[in-house]
């Protein structure tokens, strides 16, 4: 299984460092340029430098959750065009509605398969 295009700029945002770093390693195998942020505030700063085309963000983070972070990303020039995917343990309808309202394009429920991840990456590259 290989991605259809290369060099996608990706920002992974998760307060769980092990989860964020593991996902970043997987995305690097798919030939993405990956940066990691461990909080919403850090994600905004890293995003301003990276101008990511794709953001994968955990919803449940302390201080600034993933939905608020996504809203603030959308207010930045790079965030208007970025594809944003929530990666969360919450798969209920209310959680899905919250991510839609925050401007998040995809709602992925943990654990996500490599196949699903590659499909979302393909949409971000299009």
Would you say residue 4 has pLDDT above 80? no
Other C-beta atoms closer than 10 Å to the C-beta of 13 total 30
pTM of the model: 0.92
What was the pLDDT predicted at 1?
A: 41
Q: CA–CA separation, 120 vs 68, rounded Å?
A: 21
Helices (H), 30-92: 40-50, 66-74, 77-81
User: Do residues 82 and 10 touch, judged by C-beta distance below 8 A?
Assistant: no
- Please check whether the domain covering 9-125 is classified as CATH 3.20.20.80: no
Would you say residue 75 has pLDDT above 70? yes
Task: Report residue 87: phi and psi, to 5°.
Answer: -125, 105
What was the pLDDT predicted at 81?
A: 93
């Amino acid at each position: 299984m290989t991605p259809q295009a290369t060099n996608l700029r990706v920002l992974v945002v998760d307060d769980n460092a092990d989860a964020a770093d593991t996902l970043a390693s997987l995305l690097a195998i798919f030939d993405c340029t990956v940066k990691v942020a461990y909080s919403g505030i850090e994600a905004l700063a890293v995003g301003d430098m990276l101008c990511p085309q794709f953001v994968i963000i955990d919803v449940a983070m302390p201080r600034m959750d993933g939905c608020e972070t996504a809203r603030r990303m959308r207010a930045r020039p790079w965030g208007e065009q970025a594809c944003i995917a929530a990666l969360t343990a919450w798969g209920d309808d209310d959680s899905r509605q919250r991510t839609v309202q925050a401007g998040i394009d995809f709602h992925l429920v943990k654990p996500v398969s490599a196949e699903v991840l590659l499909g979302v990456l393909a949409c971000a590259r299009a």
